[in-house]
Homo-oligomer: A and B are copies of this chain.
Amino acid sequence: MKSTPAVVLVSGGLDSATVLALAARDHPSMIALTFEYGQRHSHELSCAASICRNQGVSDHRVIPLDASLLAGSALTGGGEIPRPESIEVIGSTIPDTYVPARNTVFLSMALAVAEIAGAADIYIGANAIDFSGYPDCRPEFISAFQTMARLATKCGVEGVPLSIMTPLINMTKAEIIQCGIDMGVDYSMTSSCYDPSDSGQPCGSCESCLLRAEGFAEAGVVDPLVGASV
């Protein structure tokens, strides 16, 4: 167990719920950060709150971000860019769901919070396997961010070994789910769908729903969000 708190980016998805549980194993307390930036799927935000409550996080901060900053993606804005229909396109090029500089902005804000709170470890559920098309989910990006962060901050300059923790980066979706199940993560509280109904029901057909379904099937576990019907 480390002696300092961790800062954890919690989007409300399956990956970040797992990361939060992993961070909790090693830190006495956590500061969870969720960004509100004009996501189409704002249902994620209430999932993030539920996950934090469920995992006993007392310091959960929802940070508003000017939506125009993170525009230019099929996940944000007015819907000018259609989402890709097929799962085959994932990994071949940078997907339309890429949000310019998103992880850089999120991690920078987490860095500010971490320095103020005296936290050395910042957790993010970046994954290079299922979404290898996102440049800011690659290990080389994370490593470059960490180098920059140590040079950027007073704590870094003074020798605090600031780390960007990406425990999921090389795991398959099935491995992430198995890891979370082993730690008791309740995946019924998570949201993966790019286009859920008003009540939060997943569409079942977007690429994120398909990746999630594949992951649960491969892990041999029923997704509590969709029940035994899938």
Contacts and interface: CB of A to CB of B under 8 A. Distances in A.
B104 A152 contact: yes
Contact of A105 (B66, B70, B108, B151): B108
Contacts of A109: 69, 101, 105, 108
A138 B153 CA distance: 11
A66 B116 CA distance: 14
Interface residues of A, number: 41
A69 to B, nearest CB: 5
B154 A144 contact: no
Contact of A100 (B107, B147, B151, B154): B154
Contacts of A98: 154
A215 to B, nearest CB: 25
A21 to B, nearest CB: 25
A167 interface: no
A135 B153 contact: yes
A64 interface: yes
Contacts of A113: 69
A102 B138 CA distance: 24
Interface string A195-211: 00000000000000000
A108 B111 CA distance: 12
A38 interface: no
Pairs A-B, 6 closest by C-beta atoms: A101-B112, A100-B115, A108-B108, A144-B148, A72-B116, A141-B151
Given A64-B66, A104-B149, 12 more contacts: A63-B66, A72-B116, A94-B154, A100-B116, A101-B152, A104-B148, A104-B152, A104-B153, A105-B109, A105-B112, A135-B157, A141-B152
25 contacts: A64-B64, A69-B109, A69-B112, A71-B116, A72-B115, A94-B154, A100-B111, A100-B112, A100-B115, A100-B153, A101-B112, A101-B153, A104-B112, A104-B149, A104-B152, A105-B108, A105-B109, A105-B111, A105-B112, A135-B151, A135-B152, A135-B153, A135-B157, A140-B151, A147-B147
